[in-house]
Protein backbone atom coordinates (compact mmCIF):
# COMPACT_ATOMS: atom_id res chain seq x y z
CA UNK A 1 0.00 0.00 0.00
CA UNK A 2 1.37 3.39 -0.99
CA UNK A 3 1.52 6.35 1.33
CA UNK A 4 1.76 10.07 0.59
CA UNK A 5 5.14 10.28 2.31
CA UNK A 6 6.63 6.99 1.09
CA UNK A 7 8.65 8.64 -1.67
CA UNK A 8 10.74 10.34 0.99
CA UNK A 9 10.40 8.22 4.13
CA UNK A 10 10.04 4.72 2.66
CA UNK A 11 12.46 4.79 -0.25
CA UNK A 12 14.66 1.93 -1.39
CA UNK A 13 14.29 -1.86 -1.56
CA UNK A 14 13.50 -2.49 2.11
CA UNK A 15 10.05 -0.99 1.69
CA UNK A 16 8.77 -3.95 -0.34
CA UNK A 17 10.64 -6.46 1.79
CA UNK A 18 8.61 -5.42 4.85
CA UNK A 19 5.32 -4.74 3.08
CA UNK A 20 2.12 -6.62 3.91
CA UNK A 21 2.69 -9.09 1.06
CA UNK A 22 6.15 -9.92 2.40
CA UNK A 23 4.81 -10.53 5.91
CA UNK A 24 2.03 -12.68 4.51
CA UNK A 25 4.46 -14.78 2.49
CA UNK A 26 6.79 -15.15 5.47
CA UNK A 27 3.93 -16.50 7.59
CA UNK A 28 3.04 -18.92 4.83
CA UNK A 29 6.68 -19.95 4.48
CA UNK A 30 6.52 -20.96 8.13
CA UNK A 31 3.43 -23.07 7.55
CA UNK A 32 4.91 -24.79 4.49
CA UNK A 33 8.20 -25.50 6.25
CA UNK A 34 6.35 -26.74 9.34
CA UNK A 35 4.30 -29.23 7.34
CA UNK A 36 7.39 -30.54 5.54
CA UNK A 37 9.40 -30.72 8.77
CA UNK A 38 6.62 -32.77 10.37
CA UNK A 39 6.56 -35.06 7.34
CA UNK A 40 10.32 -35.48 7.66
CA UNK A 41 9.92 -36.60 11.27
CA UNK A 42 6.91 -38.79 10.49
CA UNK A 43 4.17 -36.71 12.10
CA UNK A 44 2.39 -35.86 8.84
CA UNK A 45 2.11 -37.92 5.63
CA UNK A 46 4.42 -36.49 2.97
CA UNK A 47 1.59 -36.04 0.44
CA UNK A 48 -0.40 -33.99 2.97
CA UNK A 49 2.62 -31.80 3.67
CA UNK A 50 3.02 -31.10 -0.04
CA UNK A 51 -0.68 -30.34 -0.38
CA UNK A 52 -0.30 -27.75 2.41
CA UNK A 53 2.87 -26.26 0.94
CA UNK A 54 1.24 -25.90 -2.48
CA UNK A 55 -1.27 -23.45 -1.01
CA UNK A 56 1.32 -21.36 0.83
CA UNK A 57 1.55 -18.61 -1.75
CA UNK A 58 0.72 -15.05 -0.77
CA UNK A 59 -1.16 -14.29 -3.98
CA UNK A 60 -3.87 -16.71 -2.87
CA UNK A 61 -4.77 -14.48 0.10
CA UNK A 62 -5.78 -10.92 0.82
CA UNK A 63 -3.67 -9.10 3.37
CA UNK A 64 -6.50 -6.63 3.88
CA UNK A 65 -8.96 -9.42 4.60
CA UNK A 66 -6.56 -11.21 6.94
CA UNK A 67 -5.89 -7.93 8.73
CA UNK A 68 -9.57 -7.16 9.12
CA UNK A 69 -10.27 -10.60 10.56
CA UNK A 70 -7.26 -10.38 12.91
CA UNK A 71 -9.31 -8.35 15.36
CA UNK A 72 -11.29 -11.44 16.31
CA UNK A 73 -8.28 -13.35 17.64
CA UNK A 74 -5.86 -10.51 18.26
CA UNK A 75 -3.29 -11.37 15.57
CA UNK A 76 -3.16 -12.06 11.81
CA UNK A 77 -1.96 -15.67 12.09
CA UNK A 78 -5.36 -17.02 13.16
CA UNK A 79 -7.37 -15.87 10.14
CA UNK A 80 -4.54 -16.77 7.78
CA UNK A 81 -4.44 -20.33 9.13
CA UNK A 82 -8.20 -20.60 8.65
CA UNK A 83 -7.93 -19.36 5.07
CA UNK A 84 -5.04 -21.73 4.38
CA UNK A 85 -6.92 -24.68 5.87
CA UNK A 86 -9.93 -23.92 3.67
CA UNK A 87 -7.78 -23.86 0.53
CA UNK A 88 -5.99 -27.10 1.40
CA UNK A 89 -9.19 -29.04 2.09
CA UNK A 90 -9.52 -32.78 2.40
CA UNK A 91 -7.53 -34.91 4.83
CA UNK A 92 -4.44 -32.70 4.54
CA UNK A 93 -6.37 -29.76 6.01
CA UNK A 94 -6.31 -31.44 9.41
CA UNK A 95 -2.52 -31.12 9.54
CA UNK A 96 -2.27 -27.36 8.88
CA UNK A 97 -0.54 -25.49 11.70
CA UNK A 98 -0.16 -28.69 13.72
CA UNK A 99 1.34 -28.15 17.17
CA UNK A 100 1.92 -24.45 16.53
CA UNK A 101 0.54 -21.30 18.10
CA UNK A 102 -0.07 -17.92 16.49
CA UNK A 103 3.05 -16.41 17.98
CA UNK A 104 5.18 -19.12 16.38
CA UNK A 105 3.91 -17.99 12.98
CA UNK A 106 4.28 -14.25 13.50
CA UNK A 107 7.62 -14.38 15.32
CA UNK A 108 9.20 -16.61 12.68
CA UNK A 109 7.76 -14.38 9.96
CA UNK A 110 9.30 -11.38 11.74
CA UNK A 111 12.68 -13.10 11.66
CA UNK A 112 12.35 -13.95 7.95
CA UNK A 113 11.25 -10.43 7.06
CA UNK A 114 14.04 -8.92 9.15
CA UNK A 115 16.65 -11.18 7.58
CA UNK A 116 15.60 -10.16 4.08
CA UNK A 117 15.62 -6.48 5.02
CA UNK A 118 19.05 -6.77 6.64
CA UNK A 119 20.39 -8.32 3.43
CA UNK A 120 19.21 -5.29 1.45
CA UNK A 121 20.57 -2.93 4.09
CA UNK A 122 23.99 -4.54 3.94
CA UNK A 123 24.05 -4.24 0.16
CA UNK A 124 23.32 -0.49 0.33
CA UNK A 125 25.76 -0.01 3.21
CA UNK A 126 28.41 -1.79 1.18
CA UNK A 127 27.81 0.57 -1.73
CA UNK A 128 28.03 3.56 0.62
CA UNK A 129 31.28 2.17 1.98
CA UNK A 130 32.76 1.79 -1.49
CA UNK A 131 31.87 5.40 -2.34
CA UNK A 132 33.35 6.69 0.90
CA UNK A 133 36.50 4.62 0.50
CA UNK A 134 37.09 6.24 -2.88
CA UNK A 135 36.53 9.70 -1.42
CA UNK A 136 38.85 8.98 1.49
CA UNK A 137 41.64 7.75 -0.78
CA UNK A 138 41.22 10.54 -3.34
CA UNK A 139 41.18 13.30 -0.75
CA UNK A 140 43.59 11.89 1.81
CA UNK A 141 45.66 15.08 1.50
CA UNK A 142 42.97 17.63 0.58
CA UNK A 143 43.14 20.20 3.40
CA UNK A 144 39.86 21.04 5.11
CA UNK A 145 39.00 22.97 8.22
CA UNK A 146 38.33 20.67 11.13
CA UNK A 147 35.42 21.99 13.14
CA UNK A 148 34.63 21.58 16.82
CA UNK A 149 31.50 23.07 18.41
CA UNK A 150 30.68 24.27 14.86
CA UNK A 151 33.77 26.52 14.85
CA UNK A 152 36.98 26.07 12.88
CA UNK A 153 39.55 24.25 15.02
CA UNK A 154 42.58 22.64 13.33
CA UNK A 155 43.06 21.55 9.72
CA UNK A 156 42.16 18.00 8.79
CA UNK A 157 41.74 16.57 5.32
CA UNK A 158 38.52 15.76 3.55
CA UNK A 159 39.82 12.22 3.24
CA UNK A 160 40.04 12.10 7.03
CA UNK A 161 36.43 13.33 7.23
CA UNK A 162 35.28 10.68 4.73
CA UNK A 163 37.27 8.01 6.58
CA UNK A 164 35.46 8.92 9.78
CA UNK A 165 32.14 8.51 8.01
CA UNK A 166 33.29 5.20 6.55
CA UNK A 167 34.47 3.85 9.90
CA UNK A 168 31.09 4.55 11.48
CA UNK A 169 29.13 2.92 8.67
CA UNK A 170 31.39 -0.13 8.59
CA UNK A 171 31.01 -0.59 12.34
CA UNK A 172 27.23 -0.39 12.02
CA UNK A 173 27.27 -2.89 9.15
CA UNK A 174 29.33 -5.27 11.29
CA UNK A 175 26.61 -5.14 13.97
CA UNK A 176 24.03 -6.06 11.36
CA UNK A 177 26.10 -9.00 10.12
CA UNK A 178 26.52 -10.20 13.68
CA UNK A 179 22.75 -10.68 13.92
CA UNK A 180 22.91 -13.68 11.59
CA UNK A 181 23.35 -16.40 14.25
CA UNK A 182 20.58 -14.80 16.30
CA UNK A 183 17.97 -15.21 13.57
CA UNK A 184 16.18 -18.17 15.13
CA UNK A 185 12.98 -20.01 14.32
CA UNK A 186 10.10 -19.80 16.78
CA UNK A 187 8.16 -23.00 17.45
CA UNK A 188 6.92 -23.83 20.90
CA UNK A 189 3.19 -24.30 20.74
CA UNK A 190 0.72 -22.88 23.21
CA UNK A 191 3.02 -22.59 26.25
CA UNK A 192 6.42 -23.18 24.68
CA UNK A 193 6.77 -26.90 25.53
CA UNK A 194 5.64 -28.43 22.20
CA UNK A 195 3.38 -30.67 24.26
CA UNK A 196 1.08 -31.36 21.30
CA UNK A 197 3.83 -33.29 19.49
CA UNK A 198 5.04 -35.32 22.44
CA UNK A 199 8.59 -36.57 22.28
CA UNK A 200 8.87 -35.74 18.57
CA UNK A 201 8.53 -32.01 19.22
CA UNK A 202 12.28 -31.22 19.44
CA UNK A 203 12.96 -33.17 16.23
CA UNK A 204 10.32 -31.15 14.38
CA UNK A 205 11.83 -27.94 15.76
CA UNK A 206 15.25 -28.94 14.44
CA UNK A 207 13.88 -29.89 11.02
CA UNK A 208 11.89 -26.65 10.82
CA UNK A 209 14.97 -24.59 11.58
CA UNK A 210 16.95 -26.38 8.85
CA UNK A 211 14.24 -25.88 6.26
CA UNK A 212 14.02 -22.15 6.93
CA UNK A 213 17.82 -21.85 7.28
CA UNK A 214 17.36 -20.32 10.71
CA UNK A 215 19.10 -21.04 13.99
CA UNK A 216 17.49 -23.58 16.31
CA UNK A 217 16.98 -21.94 19.72
CA UNK A 218 17.77 -23.78 22.92
CA UNK A 219 14.13 -23.29 23.82
CA UNK A 220 11.30 -21.17 22.38
CA UNK A 221 11.79 -17.46 22.97
CA UNK A 222 8.14 -16.41 23.25
CA UNK A 223 8.79 -14.19 26.27
CA UNK A 224 12.57 -13.74 26.01
CA UNK A 225 12.81 -10.80 23.63
CA UNK A 226 16.53 -10.17 23.64
CA UNK A 227 16.66 -11.05 19.95
CA UNK A 228 14.22 -8.25 19.14
CA UNK A 229 16.24 -5.83 21.25
CA UNK A 230 19.45 -6.80 19.44
CA UNK A 231 17.82 -6.11 16.08
CA UNK A 232 16.54 -2.78 17.35
CA UNK A 233 19.98 -1.81 18.66
CA UNK A 234 21.74 -2.77 15.45
CA UNK A 235 19.27 -0.82 13.32
CA UNK A 236 19.61 2.17 15.64
CA UNK A 237 23.39 2.04 15.19
CA UNK A 238 22.93 2.12 11.42
CA UNK A 239 20.60 5.10 11.64
CA UNK A 240 23.03 6.89 13.94
CA UNK A 241 25.90 6.37 11.50
CA UNK A 242 23.75 7.51 8.59
CA UNK A 243 22.57 10.58 10.49
CA UNK A 244 26.18 11.54 11.22
CA UNK A 245 27.17 11.48 7.55
CA UNK A 246 23.99 13.09 6.27
CA UNK A 247 24.12 15.81 8.91
CA UNK A 248 27.71 16.68 8.04
CA UNK A 249 26.87 16.83 4.34
CA UNK A 250 23.99 19.22 5.01
CA UNK A 251 26.30 21.48 7.05
CA UNK A 252 29.12 21.37 4.50
CA UNK A 253 26.68 22.15 1.69
CA UNK A 254 25.43 25.38 3.29
CA UNK A 255 25.83 28.42 1.06
CA UNK A 256 28.34 30.01 3.42
CA UNK A 257 30.44 26.82 3.57
CA UNK A 258 29.86 25.21 0.14
CA UNK A 259 32.58 22.60 0.46
CA UNK A 260 30.38 19.85 -0.97
CA UNK A 261 27.21 19.76 -3.06
CA UNK A 262 24.77 17.20 -4.38
CA UNK A 263 24.53 17.11 -8.16
CA UNK A 264 21.40 15.12 -8.83
CA UNK A 265 19.14 14.84 -11.86
CA UNK A 266 17.33 17.87 -13.20
CA UNK A 267 14.83 19.14 -10.67
CA UNK A 268 16.30 17.44 -7.63
CA UNK A 269 16.97 19.73 -4.70
CA UNK A 270 14.72 22.46 -6.01
CA UNK A 271 12.29 24.66 -4.09
CA UNK A 272 8.57 25.27 -4.55
CA UNK A 273 9.25 29.00 -4.16
CA UNK A 274 12.90 29.92 -4.66
CA UNK A 275 14.26 29.29 -8.15
CA UNK A 276 17.90 29.53 -7.09
CA UNK A 277 17.78 26.78 -4.45
CA UNK A 278 19.77 23.56 -4.83
CA UNK A 279 19.13 21.71 -1.60
CA UNK A 280 21.06 18.55 -0.63
CA UNK A 281 17.76 16.71 -0.72
CA UNK A 282 19.16 13.18 -0.48
CA UNK A 283 21.11 14.05 2.67
CA UNK A 284 18.05 15.78 4.10
CA UNK A 285 15.86 12.75 3.38
CA UNK A 286 18.46 10.40 4.92
CA UNK A 287 18.47 12.53 8.06
CA UNK A 288 14.67 12.55 8.20
CA UNK A 289 14.40 8.78 7.85
CA UNK A 290 17.13 8.13 10.42
CA UNK A 291 15.50 10.51 12.90
CA UNK A 292 12.55 8.13 13.22
CA UNK A 293 14.69 5.38 14.74
CA UNK A 294 14.97 6.47 18.40
CA UNK A 295 11.23 6.50 19.05
CA UNK A 296 10.68 3.16 17.32
CA UNK A 297 13.59 1.58 19.19
CA UNK A 298 12.26 2.92 22.46
CA UNK A 299 8.89 1.29 21.83
CA UNK A 300 10.50 -2.07 21.05
CA UNK A 301 12.66 -1.96 24.16
CA UNK A 302 9.76 -0.81 26.33
CA UNK A 303 7.76 -3.82 25.12
CA UNK A 304 10.51 -6.30 26.03
CA UNK A 305 9.03 -7.40 29.37
CA UNK A 306 6.72 -10.30 28.43
CA UNK A 307 4.94 -11.87 31.36
CA UNK A 308 4.79 -15.62 32.08
CA UNK A 309 4.88 -17.88 28.98
CA UNK A 310 2.97 -15.60 26.57
CA UNK A 311 2.51 -11.86 26.80
CA UNK A 312 -0.71 -9.88 26.91
CA UNK A 313 -0.05 -6.89 24.69
CA UNK A 314 3.72 -6.53 24.74
CA UNK A 315 4.14 -8.99 21.87
CA UNK A 316 1.48 -7.22 19.84
CA UNK A 317 3.17 -3.88 20.48
CA UNK A 318 6.26 -5.00 18.56
CA UNK A 319 4.78 -5.52 15.11
CA UNK A 320 4.38 -1.98 13.82
CA UNK A 321 7.53 -0.43 15.32
CA UNK A 322 9.68 -3.32 14.05
CA UNK A 323 8.28 -2.93 10.56
CA UNK A 324 8.59 0.85 10.79
CA UNK A 325 12.17 0.67 12.04
CA UNK A 326 13.21 -1.64 9.22
CA UNK A 327 11.51 0.63 6.69
CA UNK A 328 13.00 3.82 8.13
CA UNK A 329 16.49 2.34 8.30
CA UNK A 330 16.20 1.08 4.75
CA UNK A 331 15.12 4.50 3.55
CA UNK A 332 17.91 6.25 5.46
CA UNK A 333 20.61 4.03 3.99
CA UNK A 334 19.16 4.19 0.47
CA UNK A 335 19.05 7.99 0.59
CA UNK A 336 22.59 8.15 1.93
CA UNK A 337 23.77 6.00 -0.97
CA UNK A 338 21.98 8.37 -3.33
CA UNK A 339 23.59 11.36 -1.60
CA UNK A 340 27.09 9.90 -1.91
CA UNK A 341 26.54 9.00 -5.55
CA UNK A 342 25.63 12.64 -6.21
CA UNK A 343 28.27 14.23 -3.99
CA UNK A 344 30.76 16.68 -5.48
CA UNK A 345 33.72 17.95 -3.47
CA UNK A 346 35.21 21.45 -3.85
CA UNK A 347 38.85 21.44 -2.65
CA UNK A 348 39.32 25.08 -3.69
CA UNK A 349 36.46 26.18 -1.45
CA UNK A 350 37.88 24.10 1.39
CA UNK A 351 41.18 25.94 1.04
CA UNK A 352 39.43 29.32 0.86
CA UNK A 353 37.56 28.52 4.08
CA UNK A 354 40.84 27.57 5.74
CA UNK A 355 42.24 30.95 4.79
CA UNK A 356 39.29 32.90 6.23
CA UNK A 357 40.97 33.42 9.59
CA UNK A 358 44.35 34.43 8.20
CA UNK A 359 46.18 31.49 9.74
CA UNK A 360 44.59 31.37 13.19
CA UNK A 361 43.89 27.65 12.89
CA UNK A 362 47.61 26.88 13.07
CA UNK A 363 48.72 29.32 15.75
CA UNK A 364 49.40 26.42 18.10
CA UNK A 365 52.23 25.27 15.82
CA UNK A 366 53.94 28.64 16.21
CA UNK A 367 53.83 28.29 19.98
CA UNK A 368 55.39 24.82 19.73
CA UNK A 369 58.12 26.13 17.38
CA UNK A 370 58.99 28.94 19.79
CA UNK A 371 59.30 26.47 22.66
CA UNK A 372 61.60 24.36 20.48
CA UNK A 373 63.75 27.49 19.98
CA UNK A 374 64.17 27.82 23.73
CA UNK A 375 61.37 30.27 24.56
CA UNK A 376 59.48 29.49 27.76
CA UNK A 377 56.12 27.85 27.13
CA UNK A 378 54.06 30.52 28.91
CA UNK A 379 55.94 33.38 27.25
CA UNK A 380 55.48 31.76 23.85
CA UNK A 381 51.79 31.11 24.51
CA UNK A 382 51.14 34.68 25.66
CA UNK A 383 52.98 36.23 22.71
CA UNK A 384 51.17 34.11 20.11
CA UNK A 385 47.82 34.66 21.83
CA UNK A 386 48.32 38.42 21.71
CA UNK A 387 49.13 38.21 18.00
CA UNK A 388 46.03 36.12 17.36
CA UNK A 389 43.87 38.70 19.10
CA UNK A 390 45.34 41.48 16.96
CA UNK A 391 44.61 39.49 13.78
CA UNK A 392 41.07 38.64 14.91
CA UNK A 393 40.54 42.33 15.64
CA UNK A 394 41.44 43.34 12.10
CA UNK A 395 45.16 43.85 12.59
CA UNK A 396 46.12 41.99 9.40
CA UNK A 397 47.18 38.46 8.42
CA UNK A 398 48.59 36.47 11.27
CA UNK A 399 51.89 35.81 9.49
CA UNK A 400 52.54 39.56 9.29
CA UNK A 401 51.50 40.21 12.87
CA UNK A 402 53.69 37.37 14.14
CA UNK A 403 56.69 38.47 12.08
CA UNK A 404 56.36 41.96 13.54
CA UNK A 405 56.14 40.79 17.13
CA UNK A 406 59.41 41.41 19.04
CA UNK A 407 59.50 37.99 20.70
CA UNK A 408 58.18 35.88 17.82
CA UNK A 409 60.09 37.71 15.10
CA UNK A 410 63.36 37.37 17.00
CA UNK A 411 63.16 33.57 16.77
CA UNK A 412 61.13 32.79 13.63
CA UNK A 413 61.48 34.57 10.29
CA UNK A 414 58.57 35.22 7.98
CA UNK A 415 59.32 32.26 5.72
CA UNK A 416 59.35 29.87 8.67
CA UNK A 417 56.13 31.36 9.97
CA UNK A 418 54.42 31.02 6.59
CA UNK A 419 55.33 27.34 6.53
CA UNK A 420 53.99 26.79 10.03
CA UNK A 421 50.72 28.48 9.09
CA UNK A 422 50.23 26.53 5.84
CA UNK A 423 47.14 24.29 6.29
CA UNK A 424 48.58 21.72 3.90
CA UNK A 425 51.41 21.01 6.33
CA UNK A 426 49.28 21.07 9.45
CA UNK A 427 46.94 18.11 9.04
CA UNK A 428 48.77 15.94 11.55
CA UNK A 429 48.36 12.20 11.02
CA UNK A 430 45.27 12.51 8.85
CA UNK A 431 46.72 10.38 6.04
CA UNK A 432 47.86 7.71 8.49
CA UNK A 433 44.36 7.36 9.90
CA UNK A 434 42.81 7.32 6.43
CA UNK A 435 45.11 4.46 5.46
CA UNK A 436 44.27 2.60 8.66
CA UNK A 437 40.54 2.84 8.01
CA UNK A 438 40.94 1.70 4.41
CA UNK A 439 43.17 -1.20 5.46
CA UNK A 440 40.69 -2.28 8.13
CA UNK A 441 37.92 -2.28 5.52
CA UNK A 442 39.94 -4.39 3.14
CA UNK A 443 40.72 -6.86 5.91
CA UNK A 444 36.98 -7.36 6.52
CA UNK A 445 36.27 -8.28 2.91
In degrees, rounded to 5, the angle at the alpha carbon of residue 13 between the alpha carbons of residues 132 and 30 is 125
Query: CA gyration radius for the chain?
Result: 30
Catalytic residue among 147, 175, 278, 310: 310
Containing 147, the helix (H) or strand (E) segment is: strand 143-148
Report the distance separating Cα 172 and Cα 329, nearest Å. Answer: 12
Report the distance separating Cα 269 and Cα 277, nearest Å. Answer: 7
Residue 297: Cβ-neighbour burial (10 angstroms; 0-12, 13-18, 19+): buried
B/e letters for 76-106, b = 16+ CB within 10 Å, e = fewer, are bbbbbbbbbbebbeeebbebbbbbbbbbbbb
Does residue 210 carry a catalytic annotation? no
Containing 151, the helix (H) or strand (E) segment is: strand 151-157
Does residue 310 carry a catalytic annotation? yes
Catalytic residue among 177, 271, 377, 414: 271
Containing 155, the helix (H) or strand (E) segment is: strand 151-157
The SS3 assignment for 149 reads coil
Report the distance separating Cα 271 and Cα 35, nearest Å. Answer: 56
Taking Cα atoms as reference points, which of 14, 57, 25, 34 lies closest to residue 185?
34
Residue 258: Cβ-neighbour burial (10 angstroms; 0-12, 13-18, 19+): middle
**CB-side exposure of 135: number of CA atoms within 13 Å?**
26
Catalytic positions are 271, 310
Amino acid sequence: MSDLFDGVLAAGPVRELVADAAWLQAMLDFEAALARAQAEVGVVPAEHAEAIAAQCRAEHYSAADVGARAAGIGNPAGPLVRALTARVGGAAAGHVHQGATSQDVVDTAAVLVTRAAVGALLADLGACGDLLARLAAEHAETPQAGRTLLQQALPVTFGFTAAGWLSGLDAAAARLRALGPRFAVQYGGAAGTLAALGERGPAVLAALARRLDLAEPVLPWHTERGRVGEVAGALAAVCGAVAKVAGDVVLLAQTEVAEVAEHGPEGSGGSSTLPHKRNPVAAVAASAAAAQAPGLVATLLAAAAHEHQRAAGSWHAEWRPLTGLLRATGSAVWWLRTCLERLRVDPARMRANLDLTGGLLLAERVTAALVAEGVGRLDAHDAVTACCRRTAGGGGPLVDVLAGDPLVGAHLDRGRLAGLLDPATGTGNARVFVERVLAAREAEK
